[in-house]
């Protein structure tokens, strides 16, 4: 899949599901958009490092929330 196709897939998902009410649903949309934009390895690395702060230390950052599908 080309970069342009990945971007379009993420946009399509945002248009289809982005207006559904509920923070947990919006978090799912964000998660799914990132999955479309990143490779599996990039996404896995992102999730595993999501609770680290800007200095690489876990402060008040939470593990990545994958949300709940609408």
pTM: 0.84
Number of domains in the chain: 1
Domain of residue 45 covers: 1-70
Question: Which DSSP string corresponds to 9-46?
Answer: HHHHHHHHHTTSSSHHHHHHHHHHHHHHHS-HHHHHHH
pLDDT for residue 36 is more than 80: yes
Task: Report in angstroms the alpha-carbon separations of 39 from 1, 8, 34, 35.
Answer: 10, 15, 9, 7
Q: Write down the pLDDT at residue 48.
A: 87
Higher-confidence residue: 50 or 53? 50
Tokens representing 70 are 């609408």
Q: Write down the pLDDT at residue 6.
A: 96
Nearest to 64 by CA among 42, 41, 47: 47
């Amino acid at each position: 899949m080309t970069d342009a196709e990945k971007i379009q897939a993420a946009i399509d998902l945002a248009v289809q599901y982005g207006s559904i009410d509920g923070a947990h649903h919006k978090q799912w949309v964000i998660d799914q958009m990132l999955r479309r934009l990143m490779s599996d390895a990039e996404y896995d690395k992102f999730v595993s490092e999501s609770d680290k702060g800007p200095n690489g230390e876990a402060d008040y950052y939470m593990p990545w929330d994958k949300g709940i599908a609408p």
